[in-house]
Amino acid sequence: MPERSFQHILLTGGCGFIGTNFVRFVMEHRPGVRLTNLDALTYSGNGESLRDLEEDDRYRFVHGDIRDRALMDGLVRECDAVVHMAAESHVDRSIQDASPFISTNVGGTQTLLDAVRQAKTEGHDARMCYVSTDEVYGQLPLDRPDLLFREDTPIAPSSPYAASKAAGDLLCGAYHHTFGLDLVTTRCSNNFGAYQFPEKVIPLFVTNLIEGEQVPLYGDGRNVRDWLHVLDHCEAVLTVLERGTSGVAYNIGGNNERSNLELTHEILRCMGAGEEKIRNVPDRLGHDLRYAIDASKIKRELGWSPTRSAWPEALDSTVAWYRDNDSWWRRVKSGEYREYYQKMYGEPAS
């Protein structure tokens, strides 16, 4: 597949964790590209993270919702590529209440697809990349380290979050098949890095430790995740957008599996904290045991593999970012998040 170059990317969800990093990555590595960032600024979206780019005339922020069809119709027509990241993204919240997940991740994705479809009927053919997740595959057993998620592994999501992302993923496939939309999909493992909302395990544990609090480890801590640095993910998404074959999904992974207990010990080491900081809390309902990715296809077909995800360096530099950006996460940890934390863990977020 020859490399495509784009002039104007519409990014949805660009004020979230991966979106913020993606905006910065594109601004730095694609100097000829303009980017419009459409974000509803839900609890996990933070306009402050990109405030310094406001003067850059290659960058534009639009405050709006992917479920607003008229808005999406207008924005899609201005761009030649759409990178769709906007989502409700936290598994625990989806267990508390699945409604916003279905509304945004399914309904919002459908609205966006309809806008891309409508534009195509008018001769405006934008390529779309759907940023899916490895969680659409469900879980792998702990006693079979030889098993990995492949792109042809059946879609079998376990959590309401994963089911809503899987529905979006399947809708994208259906719109490619039925209407011929130019569509590529990425399915990535757990990301870590700067600007991640501190409800996710790494920034939650790091910022709790900075505040002298304990870290809430679910169940026995044996659950395994594959960790990828967010900038590796951004590079892979851009690679798939520019070089991926239409209608095809690509796995993205860090080849960096850790149990949550191992991860917790790594974080305690980085922070110079002891075991007494671990607080064992009840397990997440339906907690997926293991995620592990076979990312050989993207390497073989598109020549991409991670270069920024190796531990301990990548984890150390992430921890350092949260230490150095105290005011960013302290603001984020206040407000609505305080209420959520109390409901989740039974004590106030300090």
The residues that are catalytic are 134-135, 161
Q: Tell me which of 86, 113, 116, 268 binds ligand NAD, using CB under 6 A.
A: 86
Stretch that binds ligand NAD, among 64-72, 145-153, 272-280, 335-343 (CB under 6 A): 64-72
| Tokens linked to 214 | 């304990």
Position among 67, 69, 124, 265 found at the interface with ligand NAD (CB under 6 A)? 67
133 binds ligand NAD (CB under 6 A): yes
Q: Return the half-sphere exposure (C-beta side, CA atoms, 13 A cut-off) of residue 165.
A: 29
- Strand-pairing partners, residue 83, are 11, 129
Residues at the contact surface with ligand TYD, assessed by CB under 6 A: 91, 190, 200-201, 204, 216-218, 223, 225, 260, 284
Residue 134: CB minimum distance to ligand TYD, A: 9
Distances (CA, A) of 71 to 66, 87, 315, 342: 8, 17, 39, 36
For the record, the structure tokens of 334 come out as: 């206040």
Q: Which of 197, 205, 291, 311 binds ligand NAD (CB under 6 A)?
A: 197
**Which entry of ligand NAD, ligand TYD, none binds 13, CB below 5 to 8 A by partner kind?**
ligand NAD
Q: Which residue is nearest to ligand NAD (CB)?
A: 16
How many Å apart are CA 127 and CA 302, to the nearest integer? 17
Residues 185 and 173 sit within 8 Å (Cβ to Cβ): yes
How many CB atoms sit inside 10 A of residue 136's CB?
25
**Among positions 9, 13, 59, 206, the unique one binding ligand NAD when judged by CB under 6 A:** 13
**Per CB under 6 A, does 16 bind ligand NAD?**
yes
295 interacts with, out of ligand NAD, ligand TYD, none, CB within 5 to 8 A per kind: none
Which residues of the chain form beta strands (DSSP E)? 8-12, 34-39, 59-63, 81-84, 127-133, 183-188, 190-192, 215-218, 224-229, 249-252, 257-259, 278-281
Binding site for ligand NAD (CB under 6 A): 12-13, 15-19, 39-42, 44-45, 65-67, 85-89, 104, 108, 131, 133, 165, 188, 190-191, 197
